[in-house]
Amino acid sequence: MLEAMMRAKVGDDVFREDTTVNLLEEHIAKMFNKDMALFFPSGTMANQTAIKLHTQPGDQIICDKYSHIFNYESGGVSFNSGVSCNLLDVNNGFFTAKDVENAINPSAYYYSKTSLVEIENTANRRGGSCWDFNEIKKIKAVCTKNNLGFHLDGARLWNALVAKKETTEQYGEVFDTISVCLSKGLGCPIGSVLVGDAKIMENAIRVRKIFGGNMRQAGYLAAAGIYALNNHVERLAQDHEKAKNIADVLSKLSIIKSVEPTETNIVIFELNAGVSENEFVKKLAAKNIHIISMGGNKLRMVTHLDYTDAMHEKVLLTLNKMFS
């Protein structure tokens, strides 16, 4: 990947003259059968731009209670777009078309206008789980009927595609806008891409500029994305298998209360009452194994490109030795 970055042909992307950025955007737009794609320095900025394109101040978004756009984007939906979120907390985050119908505000002027439905695939706080594509299509029908936008936070969409054997074209047909991340599982140092049809994407580059996201010779970064798409997608299945291995070991430890179903590369588990999550994290850190505490005695482990087979064996061995 680093060699591909160093060989990249670059130009000034502010003037749309960076050959490699243009190639990346064209490639991803074609993958999803969309008119346009735009390269961003972060998934948060890509999501925030999509929200801005779909909404007007005072509008409301329907999304999951644990969605990234609500929990982990620093209140950007309100700060950047002046909109609120109608948070659904049903069916472990996988709300249905009927739930969406019920969440749409009445048309009376004293209600905020529902203008956008947003989902996240895979769902981070829901343990890297994947949406049922048939339900996604039903939600799309509700959006079409009620003139609502439909945005996908596809930060880990590549994981979902591999796990469910689905295609980018399927998702491009259903969603108005999709953000996809090139870091995380694909291993790039930086970057996300927002795709959509020409009309909705018309002002995307202007919004990116407002958010401070325009870059100059960004082709060095875009080259990493092209390399990752060509080499790192199918290997995500290895991350999924390792995550399932970890979940299996954790489920057999006496100090573990429960392990959430592990579908892709995220393992979320809960410690028994009386077991200190801080001490658990510290003990692993002492062995150079670093994980994230989520609070409430829940913790998270994530497998990824740089998590090697040797590291994996050490993690499994350490868990068994220290906590069995």
Q: How far is CA 276 from CA 255, 290, 298, in A?
A: 10, 16, 10
What was the pLDDT predicted at 124? 86
What are residue 192's DSSP bridge partners?
40, 181
Sign of CA dihedral 188, 300, 265, 167: negative
As to burial, measured by CB atoms within 10 angstroms (0-12 exposed, 13-18 middle, 19+ buried), residue 277 is middle
Task: Return all residues near 308 (Cβ < 8 A) that are at least 6 apart.
Answer: none
Q: What percent of the chain has pLDDT over 90?
A: 94
How many whole angstroms separate alpha carbon 256 and alpha carbon 114? 41
Q: What value does the mean pLDDT take over residues 237-259?
A: 96
* Assigned token pair, 145: 């009927």
Hey, which bits of 199-317 come out as E strands? 256-259, 266-271, 292-295, 298-302
What are residue 77's DSSP bridge partners?
none
Residue 189 pLDDT > 90, yes or no?
yes
How many whole angstroms separate alpha carbon 137 and alpha carbon 312? 37
Residue 255 pLDDT > 80, yes or no?
yes
What was the pLDDT predicted at 162? 98
List, as one string, the DSSP characters of 56-115: -TT-EEEEETT-HHHHSSTTHHHHHH--EEEEE--GGG---HHHHHHHSPPSSTTSPPEE
The number of beta carbons lying within 10 Å of the beta carbon of residue 59 is 20
Q: What value does the mean pLDDT take over residues 294-304?
A: 92
198-218: pLDDT as tens digits: 999 999 999 999 999 999 999
What was the pLDDT predicted at 171? 98
Q: What value does the mean pLDDT take over residues 22-33?
A: 98
Q: What value does the mean pLDDT take over residues 92-100?
A: 95
Residue type, 249: V
Residue 324 pLDDT > 80, yes or no?
no
What was the pLDDT predicted at 120? 97
Provide φ and ψ at 194, rounded to 5°: -105, 130
How many whole angstroms separate alpha carbon 195 and alpha carbon 175? 10
Residue 323 pLDDT > 90, yes or no?
no
Residue type, 180: V
What was the pLDDT predicted at 137? 98
Q: What percent of the chain has pLDDT over 70?
A: 100
Range in 13-22, 152-161, 282-291, 315-324 with the lowest mean pLDDT: 315-324
Tally the residues of the chain. Answer: 324
Q: How far is CA 257 from CA 99, 214, 251, 265, 275, in A?
A: 31, 47, 8, 20, 10
Residue 126 pLDDT > 90, yes or no?
no
Range in 14-23, 122-131, 160-169, 215-224 with the lowest mean pLDDT: 122-131
What was the pLDDT predicted at 290? 94
Q: What value does the mean pLDDT take over residues 284-303?
A: 93
How many whole angstroms separate alpha carbon 23 and alpha carbon 117? 30
Provide φ and ψ at 187, rounded to 5°: 85, 10
Residue 59 pLDDT > 80, yes or no?
yes
Mean pLDDT for all residues in the chain: 96
More confident residue, 292 or 114: 114
Sign of CA dihedral 108, 111, 113, 119: negative
What was the pLDDT predicted at 184? 87
Q: How far is CA 94 from CA 18, 119, 139, in A?
A: 40, 9, 11
* Assigned token pair, 202: 């018309």
